[in-house]
Every structure is written in structure tokens, then in C-alpha cells.
Structure 1
């Protein structure tokens, strides 16, 4: 009987009460850990992967800092490279902690993702010679239509309108994401957030909607900018770099949604 009671007690600690989690605020005085050995293999594999990621990323970052001969471009490259170890550490922490802790950890990761997207756009602009040069290049190019699924919209005029719409379209995500983070913190403390819940009575649904709409618009503007300047950007081959950055974000997001 003692064994059964202990097993039931452990089960209630591991699984938790979903309705209770959604109905009350995050327990700031408690930090719960994953139970072993169920997640032992995943945790150890994550530790090894994080270690390799940090070593490789640190090597690349230190090499850029050691040969810091083009600061106008290298500062953006270094900022983008920090994304890999940050995502790796976030994944390890998500395997280590349970409950509200993982929600807060992911907020910092997502904010840096927004920062990375904007820095990628700034890197492309610097490669093309700066904002004034890019505006001039765009002004001399023939008009292009809006991309799918917004091809029914009136096209942005080539030149300043095209450039600044793309720039501010990427920049707005850097503003929206921290605002969503503040809402997550405050509503989580008040018991109104409801992580992994898509109930209309919980703020997670609205934060999720606002954040992803903002992200998709930022990506759309970044891709539009690339297609408007792809001939000039061809020598730098930025497509693969962009795909890799977004693949990390895409797979982490949908993996979290499926497992959540």
C-alpha cells in the first residue's frame, strides 16, 4: 500500500493538474525539475549537443572578433551567430525544468529571434552599400508586384517606399515580441496566460496570434526585399543563410507545438 501511495504521489507531481495550471498563476516560489530516468537519455543527448554547439559557435564568433577587419558587416554576423548557442541552451533548459519556467525561458529565445531577423536585414543592406545606396538601386529597377499571398495589393513603389516598408516591416517584430513577452510575464503571474492552451479565455491564444502574425509579416518583408535586390545580392549568396536561420526557428516552433 505504501508503494502504491508513493507511485500515485509521484504521478501527480510529474503529470500535474492541467486545469490547476491554467486556473492559477505561476508558482514563483517553486521550480520543478523533470524526473529521471524517463528523460535521462534526452537530457544527456541535449547536453552533448549543446556542448558541441557552444564550442563551434564560440570558435566562429572568436574568429570574427580576432579578425575584426570589417566591423560594419561582422557585427551583424556575430549577433546572428549567437542565435545557435542561445537556442541550444534554451532547449536544454526546457528539458530540465517543467511548468511555468519553460514558458519564461522561451520568451527570451523568441525575443532574440526577432533581433536576429532584423540584423539579417541590416546585414543585407550593409552588403549593398548602405540605406541611401539601396534606395537608389531600387529606384532604378523596374516595378515588381507584391508576392503571394498579397499579390492583389497595390505594389510598393520601387525606391524609398519599397525599402522603408521592408525595413519597418522587419523592425516591428523587434517591438512586438518584447511586448508579447511583457504580457506573458504579467498574465502568467496573474494566472491568466494558460501556456499551451488555445482557449479564448486565456491570453496565450492572443499572444500567440499577435506574435506569429508579426513574425510572418517580418519574414514576408525580408523575402520581398531579397527578391527586389536579388541580382545585387547574388555575389553574397544570402539565400542559404536565411533558410538555415528560419529552419531553426520553424522546426523549434512546430516541435514545441506538437510536443506541447
Structure 2
């Protein structure tokens, strides 16, 4: 496929993704009539994931001839944003169930109907649970699940930086054995970190699946997990296609650049025609839910104020 055609298709796809996300945000904010709440902030972070990935891939295509370092830097940005969305999704589930920051931090008690709910920690983290295979939800566990996601937010940029500096030879080590060891450590650390974060999401979702059902949590989760799944595995497939000669270098670009170009084009199109529309569906009723949450929080505040006056 010609390079100008690839740019045209990816540009149109990126524009569609941006327009869909802009429409969703504009209509939600017009209904909310608010500018800053925990819920709306987390919704924004998740909704912006698709257009950010599309823009990132489109810029990568524009800079294709600059080399792999530019592509890796752009990938690093996407991966770091992915870690933020995982934490935002957990915080969104918390807020949708009326859990406030004070409750999570232990300054206020959690609702009685939530306290003591049995948790099912998925494999492989369940292997490290000891005798307490099915703990009960309390404030300590709310904090623990939050830590499980936020650690990925901090580790992802660190690991990506190490990967670019040493594995991609920005800082040459002149020792392939050391480079291989660093790459192995980064890969293992990254997989442990992201698995821990996903386990936190699954643990909380499983415990409150019924209560979360009206909020379409599965569709929201697919908005995040689907993006990660597609971008990761199609990259592997493209590498295999290059290895077996299905993809080959051209007169202008190397094989690696051809693979990166196909990856970026597919990401742009997937964001436009799969994940941005999915976000519109998943968050189309978010405005009513935010109002419900705010009313609950207002009632709780009024009760506390009444108790103080008495």
C-alpha cells in the first residue's frame, strides 16, 4: 500500500475517533453542568484513551522515516497513558458505588451494605493469599486494591524508560548479555505489574457485579482491555508476517518500518470504528449516574451536618 494512502486512511480514522470522543464529552458535560468531580475526571481519562492512541499512531506514521526511537517514544507515551486508565477505571467503579475519597482513606466508614463483601482474588495473585483465600471487603482492602493499580502508574514509565535507554541502545552497553538480562528483568517486572493491576479491577468488579450492572462496567472495561489486547497481539502477528515473508521491505522503508506502519494504521482504524463507538455506548448513560452519585453524596453530607447540629 502506498505511503500517502496509509496517511490518508489513518488521518481520516484519527479524525473520526477525535470527533466521536469530542461529541461524547460535549454532550455529557452539557448534561452534567459540572466541571470537576472524581467521577467525571475518571470518565474523561477513559474516554480520551481511544483518540490519544489514534493521534499517537498517526504522528508515528508522519515520523516514520525518523527511525524506531521516535516510534518507541510514542509507544512509551501510549503505554503510560494505559496505566493511568487502569487506575481511573478502579476509581470510577468506587465512585459509581458511592465510595468517597474519605472512605477509601479510612477517614469515614464504608457503607454497611458493602462492608464484609467476600472478595475472590483471581489467579495468579490468589497463590500469594495464604490461608485467607476469600478476604472480606473493608477499608484496608479498598486501599490495597488501589495500591495494586497505582503501582502500575509509577512502574510503567520507569520500565519504559529503562527499556528505551538500554534495550534500544540509546545508551550502548556494548554487552549483549547484559542487554538481554535487562530486557528480561523489564519484561518480567512489566508483566507482574500489569497483572497485579488487572487483578485489582477483576477482584472489585466480581464482588459488586450486580450493583455495577446498570453502569455497563463490562463495556467500559473492554474500552480499556480491548485497546491493549489489539495493539499488543496484532504487533506480534505483524512481526510473524514479516518473519515469514508475507510483509517485506520496499524501496523506501525497511521491513521494521513497514511493520510499524501497518501497526499504526490498524490502531487508527480500530480506535475510529471499534473503540470510540464503544465508548459512546458505554458512557451514554454516564450523566444520569453522576447525578445519582452526587445526590447520594449530598444526602450523606446533609445527614452528617444534621448530626453535628444535634
Unaligned runs of 5+ in 2: 104-108, 240-310
Structure 1 residue corresponding to 2:192, chosen from 207, 210, 213 = 213
Contact preservation (8 Å) 2:121, 2:199 = no
In structure 1, the partner of 2:88 is 119
Higher RCO, 1 or 2 (CA under 8 Å, sep at least 6)? 2
Provide TM-score, normalisation by structure 2. 0.63
Q: Provide the C-alpha distance between the structure 1 equivalents of 2:218 and 2:177, rounded to a whole number of angstroms.
A: 34
When the two chains are superposed, the root-mean-square deviation of aligned CA atoms in Å is: 2.9
Which residue pairs with 1:19 in the alignment?
A: none
Contact map agreement 1:117 1:170 (CA 8 A) in 2: yes
Residue of structure 2 in register with 1:56 after alignment: 20
**Aligned residue number for residue 227 of structure 2:** 248
Q: 1:95 aligns with which of 47, 61, 67?
A: 61
Corresponding residue of 2:301: none
Q: CA deviation at 1:255?
A: 1.6
Q: 2:44 aligns to what?
A: 78
Cα separation, 1, equivalents of 2:181 and 2:236: 17
CA distance in 2, matches of 1:135, 1:163: 12
Change (3 A) 1:68 1:168: same
Q: SS state of the match for residue 170, structure 2?
A: helix
Query: How far apart, CA to CA, are the structure 1 residues paired with 2:200 and 2:13?
Result: 33
Residue aligned with 2:180, SS:
coil
Count of aligned pairs: 221
Deviations 1:50-104 (A, max 9, x none): 1111111122223333344354221211121111111101222333313211011
Change (3 A) 1:80 1:210: same
Structure 1 240/90 Cα, relative in aligned 2: closer, same or farther at 3 Å? same
Say which of 152, 160, 175 aligns to 1:173.
152
Residues 173, 179 of structure 2: 8 Å contact kept = no
Unaligned runs of 5+ in 1: 1-35
- What's the offset of the Cα at 1:190? 0.4
